[in-house]
Amino acid sequence: MARGSLIVFEGLDGCGKSTQLDLLYEWLCERGVDCVKTREPTDGEWGRRIREMARSGERVTPEEELAWFVEDRREHVREVIEPALARGAFVLSDRYWLSSVAYQGARGLDAAAIQRASEAEFPDPDLAIIFEVSPEEGIARVNARGGVGEPVFEEVEFQRRVKKVFGQMDRPWIVRVDARGGVSEIHQAVLACVRERGMVGD
């Protein structure tokens, strides 16, 4: 059986990646494609710890934060991503190790070192879509949607540093999509990215 495809959705907080993941998931499922929708941080032990920290506003050291994300990712890859890829499924992940490079890099850690370690341990995505929006617009969207905030991450100056790191990433499987348009317009851009790589037909 052919191995499946891993597509990850990345970008600043408020960039619209989660909405676009849901739309692609629905589009694939309507066409009978075996598809798994997942996210990082996960709902596992480490993922819950990360979310609680982010929502509390009580920071841990950048090194400890990165260690939590890595442990969560190890569990995620072992229990969700690899089994699904092995059976030939599409895996759509809302964030992956690119976010650790960008976010913990923005915390002051060595982004290049995080990327090297991640590439050595975890499978590369077949496609990583970085949704590009300004930090100001992203935070405005986060505030407008309400719900439980994550003050540890949702701060404009920090998001500017995250954007800079995302902007420096360069791999053949990375594409960038302008996230300032309408939801439907961006969805069509996502479909174009997937089709151009021969992952799906019409």
Q: In the chain, what are the domains?
A: 5-196 (3.40.50.300)
pLDDT, residue 143, reads 82
From the list 141, 5, 150, the residue with the least C-alpha distance to 85 is 5
CA atoms of 85 and 140, how far apart (whole Å): 36
Q: Which residues contact 57 (CB under 8 A, 6 or more apart)?
A: 151, 152
Q: What is the overall mean pLDDT for the chain? A: 92
Among 68, 69, 54, 64, which Cα is nearest to 154's?
54
What's the pLDDT tens digit per position in 105-157? Answer: 999 999 999 999 999 999 999 999 999 999 999 988 888 876 545 555 668 89
The model's pTM is 0.92
**β-strands 127-132, 174-178 pairing:** parallel
Share of the chain above pLDDT 70, in %: 94
Tokens representing 38 are 């997942």
How do residues 30-62 score in pLDDT, each as one tens digit?
999 999 999 999 999 999 999 888 888 777 899
The pLDDT value given to residue 114: 98
Q: Residue 91 in 3-state DSSP?
A: strand
